[in-house]
Amino acid sequence: MHSNIPIDREEILNLAFELIKIESHKEVDYQENKIAEWIKSKFQKEGIESETVAVDNADGRLNVMAYLPKKSDQISLMFNGHTDTVPPYGMSIDPFKPEIKEGKLYGRGAVDMKGGIAAFMATMFALKRANIELPGGLAFAGVIDEEQSCRGTEYIVKNGPVPDMVVVAEPTDMKVCPAHKGMEWIEVTFKGQASHGSRPREGINAVLLASEFSLKVQNELLPKLEQRHHEIAGQASINVGKIQGGDDPNIVPDTCVVQLDRRWLPDETIESITEEVTELANKVTKNNSKGKYSVRGMREATAALLNTPHSTDVNSSLVQEALHIVSHVFPDREPGPVAFKGWSDAAQLSNNLGTKGIVVGPGNIAQAHATLEYIDVEEIVKSVHVYYELAKKFCT
């Protein structure tokens, strides 16, 4: 199933090249604005209605939207992709000078996810040039802040447009991913009682409380979580990621903070996962009347609407049609369904608006954020055929 579409390989890859050249990470002022304006100009040049939208409480940073056939509050299908990247850090190549070597396109954001955005743009161009009628409505959403607090898609949740379905082009090797885990960062603070290091029994050592708690997480809670399983998303998990406490070796520490990464399943709740952590902290302190604890979600480091799990029924028309199309465009690989290995903005739309969603995009997530980031160029080109057929199926 290779559609005869009015856009060629060179033009598709040129879009990816130009997107990579534009820095859009947190070390750049108004980090996504330059790329948003560039994307808008490209859509407008094609005669496609497009606009930039300032996101609330984001210091003037811009989402970029495009619509076929025209702007509407309710649409059948949305192409959603984040325009921000992580910074280049210690990349071993020039991060913003893209080049192709041995069939791979190198540069920061190549796989996460400017290759996917290029494919979305190319699909919209091709549909417009082919005069395909799309009465159901198709929207492109280039959103800010996915690498930080996900405020770009949060803005869409609160202000529209409302899509019946969404495709997110995070890198999946073009496998269809109808589900993924949620991510909650939890901070547990233990309070003890300081004393001189030469008289440790006169104090309550918060570092020891935190250590005992961490061992309980590993030995009691983690095995329990590994017994929980979602048909697509897989096992729940928890990781002790950071412990910080104490001032000097000669002082019994009165404070120690433990930070956890909890990956939760679609049939779990934020209340239940918080309660499990709280129960363990309570076990540690209940035998010591002076030891105390507090538990909080690290909302400053996660999405305001929560990094919830995502799940769309594998028997839904969106998932089944995507599997059918991918299997024809990429006949040499199993199309899925599989879990997306990270987190995506599909969760904000599915959990808050009831949108059915899949994550399916070119590239392998193993190359995301890497010092040598790259994407297979043929996957970018072929992905356009997948997105083109999905738009024809659900918007006509």
Which SS3 state, helix, strand or coil, does residue 261 take? Answer: strand
**How does pLDDT run across 88-137, given as a tens digit for each residue?**
998 989 999 999 999 999 999 999 999 999 999 999 999 999 999 999 99
Q: Is pLDDT above 70 for 2?
A: no
Residues 6+ apart with CB under 8 A from 251: 194, 195, 196, 197
Q: Is pLDDT above 90 for 385?
A: yes
Q: Is pLDDT above 90 for 188?
A: yes
- Separation CA 388–CA 103 (nearest Å): 23
Domain 9-180+309-395: CATH superfamily, name plus number: Zn peptidases (3.40.630.10)
- Nearest 5°: the CA angle 349, 110, 38 is 75
Q: For residue 318, what is the enclosing H or E element?
A: helix 317-329
Kindly report, as residue ranges, where domains of CATH 3.40.630.10 are found in the chain: 9-180+309-395
Among the four given CATH numbers 1.10.760.10, 3.40.50.150, 3.40.50.2000, 3.30.70.360, the one describing domain 182-301 = 3.30.70.360
Kindly report, as residue ranges, where domains of CATH 3.30.70.360 are found in the chain: 182-301
pLDDT of residue 3: 61
Backbone conformation region of residue 243, classed left if phi is above 0, alpha if psi is from -120 to 50, else beta: beta
**How does pLDDT run across 279-325, given as a tens digit for each residue?**
999 999 986 667 899 999 998 888 889 999 999 999 999 999 999 99
Which SS3 state, helix, strand or coil, does residue 359 take? Answer: strand
Q: Is pLDDT above 90 for 53?
A: yes
β-strands 251-252, 179-180 pairing: unpaired
What is the residue whose two structure tokens read 């901070």? Answer: 187
**Residue 360 half-sphere exposure toward CB, CA atoms < 13 A:** 31
Q: By percentage, how much of the chain surpasses pLDDT 90?
A: 93
How many CB atoms lie under 10 A from the CB of residue 41?
12
List C-alpha distances in Å: 147 to 226, 343, 368.
27, 10, 11
Check if the beta carbon of residue 246 is closer than 8 Å to that of residue 256: yes
User: Which residues on adjacent β-strands are paired with residue 80?
Assistant: 141, 168
